[in-house]
Amino acid sequence: MKALVTGCGGFCGQHLQRLLESEGLEVFSLSTRNKQDRCWRIRDVHDEKGIAAALDEIQPDYIFHLAGAVSSTDPWEVFEVNVGFAAALLGAARRTLPESVPILFAGSCAEYGEVTPEELPVSETQACRPVTDYGISKFAQTRLALAAARRGQTIIAVRSANLIGPGIPETLFLGTVIRQIVRIARREKEPVLELGNLDTARDFLDVRDAVRCYWDLVREPTAFGQIVNVSSAVPTPIRQLLTLAIAGSEREIKIQTRDERRKSHDLPSFYASNAKLRELLGKVSVFDPEESISSILRSEMALP
């Protein structure tokens, strides 16, 4: 069995690759750099012809589209990657693979955007009102995927919660904070953290649990053609995760909050229903903040 994973070198992609390989699959990827073993070179994210050639050669049994632009300040780059790449992949798959090959598109709960307390927890039927370039582009990606499903391709569109775990990148708030805490623990930085609003709660999920859900969903026919929240359905306070990380550092760390670091669209609380996920897969993992934070710290402290 073979799988193609776009974004294989990213945070989520690395964890998914390890899981799939442990399940006995050969994992292939795409890259705009030189072709390497099991990594096919494409010209750019719009290179439908190059993607089609790779798919034709690989003949994957499953496709996981995880590649995406998260932190770019250039709206064009965000849309080129998050929408253009998805469109090129769908076109290439339609030209070269049987329609029965499942393609999972990794979207985001950022697609929901502004919600009221009465709308929580948000379900997959919730009207989307995204407010960021990332959320808007991921919503467009989801609509493209569902349009392909109506044409006959086998599609699963997931909307993931905030993923955390070993290897969390500094482009994410928690990743930046934990890198600073590790530097403090190593006495490479003064024991002070300057942060924004900590009085918020978000839906967090360990990345290792998320990729397990992805793998289970592509093998569950009742999930095909659907949007599925991959979430914990629990609002975890940001301050709780920060407290756990500081405790794990075994250092006294002072926190300074600054108003200029607050986001204009910072919702007090957000969490998404995982009722459909549980209905499709049965029991799903419960988010354990202490274990996730501990695993991140172990991983980071082991690095040079």
What is the CATH classification number for the domain harbouring 281? 3.40.50.720
Is 294 contained in some domain?
A: no
Per the CB < 8 A criterion, the answer to whether 112 and 103 are in contact is no
Is 133 contained in some domain?
A: yes
Q: How many residues does the chain have?
A: 304
- pTM for the structure as a whole: 0.95
State the residue range of the domain holding 216. 2-165+204-233+274-288
**Residue 124 token pair:** 């997959």
Closest CA to 126 of 145, 111, 144, 136: 111
Is 295 contained in some domain?
A: no
Is 185 contained in some domain?
A: no
Average predicted confidence (pLDDT) for the chain: 93
Q: Which residues does the chain have with pLDDT short of 70?
A: 34-35, 71-72, 258-266, 304
Is 282 contained in some domain?
A: yes
Is 174 contained in some domain?
A: no
Looking at residue 24, its pLDDT comes to: 98
Number of domains forming the structure of the chain: 1
Is 132 contained in some domain?
A: yes
Q: Express each pLDDT in 5-59 by its tens digit.
A: 999 999 999 999 999 999 999 999 998 876 678 999 999 999 999 999 999 999 9
Per the CB < 8 A criterion, the answer to whether 35 and 41 are in contact is yes
Per the CB < 8 A criterion, the answer to whether 30 and 39 are in contact is yes
Residues 6+ apart with CB under 8 A from 158: 104, 105, 106, 107, 213, 214, 217, 227, 228, 229, 230
Is 265 contained in some domain?
A: no
Mapping DSSP onto H, E and C, the string for 190-210 reads: CCEEEECCCCCEEEEEEHHHH
